[in-house]
């Protein structure tokens, strides 16, 4: 199966993403996020895509986490989506910007209350002496907010990877895969096929 030619990688991503959503996969929005810190160390982890459009691909996290600190040092990232049951992969590379406070506030308000409290209680990526220590922090913040609204912490918010390169990969028999690469040049997308 070959990837059809098109001029808009975001539209193609939307079609593939809809197929992943429709395939009943667990966490079809899971993606690997790779960052490079100020010392040049590369790290990768799984995060969840929470939105995308022509401006980029959005995820949320604690800005004081290891990934948040790396993005502060070097605001560039790579993403990789892999849907093995569909024999598809999408890679995205680009600069990273924080989303607006309003956008972060809106998404935070949509999260389950326990996840909101967890955003306050977790000192993400820092050493934890014992799980009980974290559970006490959860209880402390649950008590602090009571039954009222849980505001978004200043250290928590969204990041948008603004794509400069997007590559689509379709598995082929005998390792004869199909690859279609898009590169942003002067505000427009240039595409080309790549050897497997």
Structure tokens at 56: 């980029």
For the chain (length 196 residues), average pLDDT per consecutive 10? 86 97 96 97 98 98 96 98 97 98 97 96 89 92 94 97 98 89 95 93
Q: Is 175 a catalytic residue?
A: yes
**pTM (whole model) above 0.75:** yes
The C-alpha atoms of residue 118 and residue 195 are separated, in whole angstroms, by 45
Query: What structural domains and CATH numbers belong to the chain?
Result: 9-99+154-194 (2.30.110.10)
Q: Report residue 43: phi and psi, to 5°.
A: -135, 155
Read out DSSP for 54-121? TTEEEEEEETTSHHHHHHHHS-EEEEEEEEGGGTEEEEEEEEEEEPPHHHHHHHHHHS-HHHHHHHHH
> pLDDT digit string (tens) for 46-63?
999 999 999 999 999 999
Q: What is the reported pLDDT for 4?
A: 79
Structure tokens at 20: 């992943």
Q: What is the reported pLDDT for 110?
A: 97
Please pick, among 175, 179, 184, 193, the residue that the annotation labels catalytic.
175
Do 7 and 188 contact (CB within 8 A), yes or no? no
CA angle (119 as vertex; 118, 122 as ends), nearest 5: 70
Q: What is the reported pLDDT for 172?
A: 86
Q: What is the reported pLDDT for 2?
A: 79
CA angle (91 as vertex; 85, 95 as ends), nearest 5: 150
Do 92 and 9 contact (CB within 8 A), yes or no? no
**Residues in Cβ contact with 94 at an 8 Å cutoff, skipping those fewer than 6 apart:** 56, 76, 77, 161, 162, 163, 164, 165
């Amino acid at each position: 199966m070959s990837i059809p030619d098109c001029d808009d990688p975001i539209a193609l991503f939307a079609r593939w993403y809809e197929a992943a959503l429709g395939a009943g996969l667990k966490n079809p929005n899971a993606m690997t996020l790779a960052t490079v810190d100020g010392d040049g160390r590369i790290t990768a982890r799984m995060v969840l895509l929470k939105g995308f459009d022509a401006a980029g691909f959005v995820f949320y996290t604690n800005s004081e986490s290891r990934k948040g600190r790396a993005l502060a040092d070097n605001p560039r990232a790579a993403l990789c989506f892999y849907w093995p049951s569909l024999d598809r992969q999408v890679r995205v590379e680009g600069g990273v910007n924080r989303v607006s406070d309003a956008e972060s506030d809106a998404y935070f308000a949509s999260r389950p209350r326990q996840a909101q409290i967890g955003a306050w209680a977790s000192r993400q990526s820092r050493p934890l002496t014992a799980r009980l220590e974290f559970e006490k922090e959860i209880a402390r913040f649950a008590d602090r907010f009571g039954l009222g609204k849980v505001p978004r912490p200043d250290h928590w918010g969204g990041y948008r990877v603004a794509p400069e390169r997007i590559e689509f990969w379709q598995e082929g028999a005998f390792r004869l895969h199909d690859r279609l690469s898009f590169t942003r040049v002067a505000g427009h997308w240039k595409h080309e096929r790549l050897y497997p």
